[in-house]
Chains A and B, each alone.
Chain A
Amino acid sequence: MRTKISELRQGRKLTQQQLAEAVGVTRQTIISMEQGKYNPSLLLAAAVTRALGLRFIEEVFIIDENNK
C-alpha cells in the first residue's frame, strides 16, 4: 500500500524515530510503511494518522484498486 507518510512526516519536521515513538512501533516498521512494503492494521493506520495530526486515514494511506 502506497503512503504519504514520508512527505507528511518531513513536512512536520519529524524523524522516523520520533514518529515511531509517537505511534508506539519500531523505526523499522515506520520505514517499511513508508516504502509501502508493510500494510498496517486499522489501529496502527489510525495511530499514524493521529500522530501526523490528520483526521482521515485516506490522507495518509493511498487506497486504490491495486491494493486488493
Chain B
Amino acid sequence: MIGKPQWFIRRKYTGWGLTPKTWQGWVYILGFCVAPLLLVSALSFDEEVKLTAIGIWVGVILADVIHVMLSIKVDERERLHEAIADRNALWSIMLMLTLAMVVYAVRNPGSQVPSEVWPIIVALFGGLAVRVVSFLWLSRHD
C-alpha cells in the first residue's frame, strides 16, 4: 500500500480518520489525495471518464487509509478509550436519527420515506461531539 502507519496518528478530538505526524504524511495527503482529484477534474475528458477515474482513485485512497488506520499501533488504554468513545458516539447517532424520524413523522403524517438529509448530518455532528466529549472525560478520569 501507499501510506505508512508511522506517518500518521489516529484522530481523537477532530473526528474519525488520520492526522499527518510527519512531512511524509502531509505529502501523502496533498500528493495522493488532493492533487490527483484536482488534476482529473481540471483535465478536459468526458464527464463519465472523469467520474470513473475519480471513483477508482477515491476507492484506492479509501482502502489505503483504512489499511493505515488498522496498522497504527494502539496500546490497550487508547484502544479502550476509543472503543468507549465510539460506542457513545454510535448510541448518540442512533438516538438522534430516531428522534429525527419521529419529528419527521409528526410533521409529515402519512409520508413513509423521509427524503431530507439534515437528520443524518445533524446525527453525524452530534456523534462527533459526543466522541470528543467522551475522549476528554476519559483522558481526565481514565
Query: Residues on A close to B: CB < 8 A?
Result: 24-26, 28-29, 32, 37-38, 40-41, 44
Contact = CB atoms under 8 A, between A and B. Distances in A.
A24 B73 CA distance: 9
B142 A24 contact: no
Interface of B: 73, 75-78, 139, 141-142
Query: For the complex, would chain A's binding face be called helix, strand, loop or mixed by DSSP majority?
Result: loop
B142 A38 contact: yes
Nearest to B139: A28
B78 A29 contact: yes
A32 B77 contact: yes
A40 B79 CA distance: 12
Nearest to A36: B142
B77 A24 contact: no
A28 B79 CA distance: 13
